[in-house]
Amino acid sequence: MTKKDTHYLIAAVPYSDNFGDALIHNSLAWKLENYDISSEALDIAGRHNFERSAQQNAIKDKILKSRFEWVRQLFIPLNSMLVAVKNYRNWMSKVKAADVVLMGGGNLISDVYLNFPLKLYFLSLFCYFANTNYAVVYVGVAKRMSGPGRWLFKRLFAAKQCLYISVRDAASKDNIAYLFGAQIADKVVVSIDPAVNLNLSYSEASHSDLSKQAYAAINIVNPVVLMVNSDNDLSFNEQDYQQWISQCVAKVKAAGLLPVLYTNGAQEDQQYMQDIASSLPDAKVVSVEQVDDLVKVVSQAQCVFATRLHSAISAFSFSVPFTVMSWDSKVSAFVEAVKLPTSMLFDFSREGMQKHSETIRLADMPELQQQVVQARHKVVNAWDVEFRDMLQRLEQYQAESQLS
């Protein structure tokens, strides 16, 4: 279907310490390899691996926690521009070597102080000067963004080099229509997050010591992250969140399972988990230091209480029953996209978390698992069809652009 020696550049944030982005990249690269397409990663945040210095972590933590809004408003856009300038030669070399640049997946079409709008816009300029076409694929689209953010993203979508656009759920297409107009939305294909294929790309993942005992995995996130990044208007209190964790631990223990606390790898989440661990003596704390650690802790669990989106998607991929905190619209959009019952969702208000911890029944998990298995089979089959169609269309568009 594709010509021999086809090479794609996958541009997103694969080296983020939130390993959900690495799961997306690895799943997409694995899928391309199945069609004999080689690929390479480009991290638009300027990272080249997962290593980050203590100084970088400290700077990120200070910016995230700063009580002065102007600190984030100034630093984040400035950093986006500096990253593009610093990596100009390296990125141009990679862009020129690629037949097509795939921008995605992940929640890239979001605007937190112009972070992704600037980074993707600069990358689109590199594609323009390198005469390399690109596709924006499997992205989530936020429902709110600034005027400058909308302008930058609209230029990204409307450029001649943009051959194909796909989003990971119907809500994202609706947001594109609302933010950028029907003309762009009409070009958008609704697909799914590539990480639904994790069980295939990580089929040979080794078992960890955790598998010796039945356990439930409880996903921990720094609540500041939830407050800064959420697009919901619900009030959120850290004490309520800690109470929810404590009640989940007690419920899991009462059901005869080992409560296991874990994160998706982000440094600020890891630190928060360590800070609260002493108040949860019945729980085992698992440090997720690399991508495989996240896959192992989720895939071997009896059930998962997820917060980060890709904890839920990982559980879905491995047919592990889960519930998930709907702290952002992207979470509920995924559950809707894969046609799972909304009862798996709970919001992060005091009432929502309290209701979840009081009503969740671990005895119901086998029935929920059957629903996950059936939904996953349908979703993966549909994605296979869409993926083949995308490759065919990209090949066709490439041929047409070379003739024009």
pLDDT, averaged per 10 consecutive residues of the chain (404 residues), comes to 80 96 97 97 94 58 62 77 94 98 97 93 97 98 95 97 97 97 97 95 76 93 86 84 97 97 95 97 96 95 97 97 94 95 91 92 92 95 96 91 72
Q: What is the DSSP string of 183-241?
A: HHHTTEEE---GGGGHHHHTTTPPP-GGGGS-EEEEE---HHHHHHH--------HHHH
CATH number of 7-191: 3.40.50
- Would the CATH topology of 7-191 be identical to that of 201-377? yes
Backbone angles phi, psi at 380, to 5 degrees: -65, -40
Task: Please report the pLDDT score of residue 16 as a whole number.
Answer: 93
CA distance 125 to 102: 14
CATH fold group of domain 201-377: Rossmann fold (3.40.50)
Task: Please report the pLDDT score of residue 52 as a whole number.
Answer: 65
Task: Please report the pLDDT score of residue 54 as a whole number.
Answer: 47
| Residue matched to tokens 């083949």 | 388
Which residue from 36, 39, 37 is spatially nearest to 25, judged by alpha carbons?
Answer: 39
CA of 403: how far to CAs of 5, 14, 132, 162, 398, in Å?
20, 34, 14, 16, 9
Task: Please report the pLDDT score of residue 66 as a whole number.
Answer: 59
Task: Please report the pLDDT score of residue 53 as a whole number.
Answer: 43
CA distance 154 to 147: 11
Task: Please report the pLDDT score of residue 371 as a whole number.
Answer: 95
Task: Please report the pLDDT score of residue 113 as a whole number.
Answer: 87
Task: Please report the pLDDT score of residue 298 as a whole number.
Answer: 97
Task: Please report the pLDDT score of residue 77 as a whole number.
Answer: 81
CA distance 223 to 351: 17
Task: Please report the pLDDT score of residue 63 as a whole number.
Answer: 61
Q: Return the domain boundaries, the chain.
A: 7-191, 201-377
